[in-house]
Chain A
Amino acid sequence: MPLTDTPIAVAMSGGVDSSVVAALLKREGFQVVGLTMQLWNQRRLPELVPETGATGRCCSLDDVYDARFVASQLDIPYYVVNFEERFEEQVVKPFVSDYLAGRTPIPCTLCNNFIKFDQFLEMADGVGAEKIATGHYARVSYNEATGRYEMRTGADQSKDQTYFLFGLTQQQLARTLFPLGHMTKPEVRKLAEQLGLPVAQKNDSQEICFVPNGDYAAFIEAYFREQDIDASQTEGEIVDTAGRVLGRHQGTHHYTVGQRRGLRIAAREPLYVIATEPASQRVIVGAGADLHRSSLIATDVNWVSIAPVLEPRTAEVKIRNKHVPAKATLVPTDTATRVRVEFEEPQRAITPGQAAVFYSGDLVLGGGWIAHAGTN
């Protein structure tokens, strides 16, 4: 059975990964349409752009130029599509309000759920493409026994992106190809060289695409200024776990759970952020031992490779992108999309707003958003 006899819509960022995807599919004889999603206007918040320019970041003109150049070299139709309004509504605004609500958000997952694997599918429908392809490092296959599409980690563990893809629905997975899932990054670069792609040596994109230099607080403050929002409302007290006031802070968005730097408080023991309380604008600090928790509550859980669990089952759970998955039991609650995760060993800095993604080996079972850590 042919994979697809309709065109394949490839999301092209101008980077090496998606360029290789387009080239590979073209080489294999598929009809390929290249599309670049314009998500954020880099001319906004100009104070954030370093004087050397905004190169190497998503949606910069250079990247669009590179994508267009690759597409013309491959001789495939290519379009730039503007999703800026939707990106701001569904990714940037939640990102800002999450920080203000004391959480540490992952905009990439929202972007995947609401833009890359949703709005982009509408573009695909527009060009008559049944399948879309991206340069993500993840693998998808269909399990005939269960009737479900399964997702596995990318073969290159250091590049695996499944942590950001747990929100994909079966309908989305049914239409998605990840041609790089079985390859390593060095293999991809080598292939890019062999295919003669002009972007073979281009640097990997870093951090969150619309936040220059990974400085989230500076982004949020610049966005506040642009939107005429008073930033002082986020200032408040720094207190210890017993509620004693130790000092003041410049805004809750400067702090994330587990953070040690930037507290500016003299103490005998090193102090860490244990939590931020949005209602009172308080940042709670404590000793390193206070950071360890043995359970968490995940909400808005999406089951990927398996049907929703009805009984407790074991899994390995990842609580941030660079976390080594930890052994845990998934315990269903009264609410189907709410799961209690009980770790075998307490985990450090379980952070509300991040995702808890459930694995069994390389199989992605599902995942949800960390609402809060459990009490010990």
Chain B
Amino acid sequence: MRYFDHNATTPVAPEVADVYAAALRGVPGNASSSHRAGQDARKQLEQSRLSIARVLNCAAQELVFTSGGTESNNLAIFGIACGDRSSRRHVVTTAMEHPAVLEPVRQLAREGCDVSFTGSLTGEIDAAIREETVLVSVMHANNETGAIQRIGEIAEVVRARRAAGQKIYLHSDGVQAFGKIPVDLERLGVDLYSISAHKIYGPKGIGALFVRKDTPIRAIQFGGRHERGRRPGTESVPGVMAFACACKLLAEYPAHELGALRDRFERQLLETLDDIEINAHTEDRLPNTSNVLFRGISGETMLIALDTAGFAVSTGSACSSGSIEPSHVLLAMGRSAAEARSSVRFSFGRSNTLHDVDQLADAVVGIVRRLRKSRERRPQLAAY
């Protein structure tokens, strides 16, 4: 099985697995305990926090560990917007967000908060902001198309509002961007930023939320005083240590090099096949992501055919595979339902070689031809 679904998850790097396994045995303490076993766990936890903070260019105190991207997004959204219920609150987000942002925002709406779903252009977001807007949430890079949003520009808009006295904060879901493009939280200018270990060759079940100093976030779950009271629950010290290891390794595997594989793959398809298009081709994209529209072919069929041939790909967010709706991201970009259903996502990663990519392209070309022939064999069929 050759794996081209790195935006869904990545295999744990061997170095990370070593750290994780060693910590499971070697760091048994509870980081909140007073004894030395606890002190050792605390030391490992805080050193890991510091090393992740260095990679992100933020302060260690600004990182809250969570169970992953979904929890980080929930904490950011409810933690900011579920504040003072006596005043009106409004939240702005985009229609292209991951369900882990869309659904918390929809839940806010059900609880009586005003929400707006806009396009992702800075102007559209600016226009949607009102006096009572407390939170703007825009993903850094899209999981399906790889499109990178202009978070720096949006941060300037939000900061200008804040300079004028408005209590408004910017959250960005960086789960897909982190590890694939440089993320410097100081320069990016966001107030909250979600990351997840399993997208960067770390283990599943660990993530973090960056909360800039002086951002008034409330806890959304209640218990002990862990994570400065912002996220109660015994910390997964081995998970955090593995996460820190995965962060450190990022420098050794520059993700921009994946762009060469991706571009070669797309070039081969475009040169060989008619009636295909690259979704979000003209946009600034993650170097590893290719979302291809195969006109007249069901993306689902393509996925299954490739899986049978030994290649793992995706039709969109893993969270919605096998499900009903065509990709909301592609629909929001203006694709029709039929076009969205004819699109397949290829996301490349560390283990992929040029040879793998050539084999993938050959397999895709073979399947497209087979399926188009299948349609010709069944002439009574209307166009898909």
Residues 202-218 (chain B) with a chain A CB within 8 angstroms: none
The complex places the Cα of A127 from the Cα of B367 at a distance, in Å, of: 9
B324 touches A79 (CB 8 A): no
Residues 83-135 (chain A) with a chain B CB within 8 angstroms: 84-85, 118, 121-123, 125-128
Which B residues lie within 8 Å of A38 (CB)?
322, 324
Q: A7-B308, A82-B300, A85-B341 are in contact. Are A126 and B370 (CB under 8 A)?
A: yes
B301 touches A123 (CB 8 A): yes
Secondary structure type dominating chain A contacts: mixed
Residue B355 lies at the interface, judged by CB distance under 8 Å to chain A: no
A125 touches B371 (CB 8 A): yes
Which A residues lie within 8 Å of B380 (CB)?
118
Residue A77 lies at the interface, judged by CB distance under 8 Å to chain B: yes
Residue A41 lies at the interface, judged by CB distance under 8 Å to chain B: yes
Contact of A128 (CB < 8 Å), options: B300, B305, B373: B305
Which A residues lie within 8 Å of B304 (CB)?
35, 79, 81, 123, 126-127
B378 touches A171 (CB 8 A): yes
The complex places the Cα of A79 from the Cα of B374 at a distance, in Å, of: 20
Secondary structure type dominating chain B contacts: helix
Residue B163 lies at the interface, judged by CB distance under 8 Å to chain A: no
Residue B93 lies at the interface, judged by CB distance under 8 Å to chain A: no
Which A residues lie within 8 Å of B375 (CB)?
122
Distance in angstroms from A117 CB to nearest chain B CB is 10
B324 touches A126 (CB 8 A): no
B374 touches A122 (CB 8 A): yes
The complex places the Cα of A103 from the Cα of B367 at a distance, in Å, of: 42
Which B residues lie within 8 Å of A81 (CB)?
298, 300-301, 304
Residue B357 lies at the interface, judged by CB distance under 8 Å to chain A: no
The complex places the Cα of A258 from the Cα of B381 at a distance, in Å, of: 35
Residues 280-334 (chain B) with a chain A CB within 8 angstroms: 298, 300-302, 304-305, 307-309, 322-324
Which B residues lie within 8 Å of A7 (CB)?
308
**In this complex, what residue of B is CB-closest to A128?**
B308
Which A residues lie within 8 Å of B373 (CB)?
125
B307 touches A122 (CB 8 A): no
Distance in angstroms from A198 CB to nearest chain B CB is 20
The complex places the Cα of A295 from the Cα of B323 at a distance, in Å, of: 47
Which B residues lie within 8 Å of A171 (CB)?
377-378
| A7, A80, A81, A125 — most chain B CB neighbours (10 Å) | A125
- Number of A interface residues in the complex (CB < 8 A): 21
Which B residues lie within 8 Å of A80 (CB)?
322
A82 touches B370 (CB 8 A): no
Residue A33 lies at the interface, judged by CB distance under 8 Å to chain B: yes
A82 touches B323 (CB 8 A): yes
Which A residues lie within 8 Å of B381 (CB)?
118
The complex places the Cα of A292 from the Cα of B378 at a distance, in Å, of: 40
The complex places the Cα of A77 from the Cα of B378 at a distance, in Å, of: 26
B378 touches A41 (CB 8 A): no
Mark A42-80 against chain B: 1 for CB-CB distance below 8 A, else 0: 000000000000000000000000000000000001011
The complex places the Cα of A127 from the Cα of B302 at a distance, in Å, of: 9
Residue B337 lies at the interface, judged by CB distance under 8 Å to chain A: yes
Residues 352-384 (chain B) with a chain A CB within 8 angstroms: 367, 370-371, 373-375, 377-378, 380-381
Q: A82-B323, A82-B324, A118-B378 are in contact. Are A125 and B370 (CB under 8 A)?
A: yes
Which A residues lie within 8 Å of B300 (CB)?
79, 81-82
Mark A323-360 against chain B: 1 for CB-CB distance below 8 A, else 0: 00000000000000000000000000000000000000
Contact of A41 (CB < 8 Å), options: B308, B324, B377: B324
A122 touches B308 (CB 8 A): no
Binding site for A on B (CB under 8 A): 298, 300-302, 304-305, 307-309, 322-324, 337-338, 341, 367, 370-371, 373-375, 377-378, 380-381
Q: List 5 A-B contacts (CB under 8 A).
A: A38-B322, A82-B323, A85-B338, A118-B381, A128-B309
Known: A38-B324, A121-B374, A126-B370. 6 other contacts (CB 8 A): A82-B324, A82-B341, A84-B324, A85-B338, A122-B371, A126-B374
